[in-house]
Amino acid sequence: MPTIDNPSVATFCNTGVRPVANGLAGAVLRAQSFMAQWNAKGMAKLIPNTADSIDDGAALDGSSPPDGRTPITGEDVNGLAAGIVQIMEVLEANNNALLNNLFKIATNPNI
């Protein structure tokens, strides 16, 4: 197989392509772990898909002192879980074609 031996290409791959693949691969691993916990702990039943805020320390409803983070709602959390499912469906389509390519390039997924 022919080799692309342009030094600029090698530098770009080592400083751009592989680091991006590492970050994305790490995000995929975190998303998979999140969904495994979501399902194992039955969070879909415990966190209603409503505009009610979650008292995680960021809530501003007086139930706990706010800590500076943006408050989140049940809708926010359920939306995140649904979005992860959609992203994973795309990555896993066609026999995991995108996932396989991503993990081929990634050398050290950042978890």
Q: What is the pLDDT along the chain (111 residues), one digit of tens a residue?
A: 899 999 999 999 999 999 999 999 999 999 999 999 999 999 999 999 999 989 888 866 665 666 778 889 999 999 999 999 999 999 999 999 999 999 999 999 976
Give the three-class secondary structure for 22. helix
Amino acid at 8: S
pTM, to two decimals = 0.85
Q: Do 60 and 71 contact (CB within 8 A), yes or no?
A: yes
Of the candidates 38, 39, 35, the one whose C-alpha atom is nearest the C-alpha of residue 84 is 35
The domain ranges of the chain are: 12-105
Of the candidates 95, 99, 72, the one whose C-alpha atom is nearest the C-alpha of residue 87 is 99
The per-residue pLDDT for 68 is 76
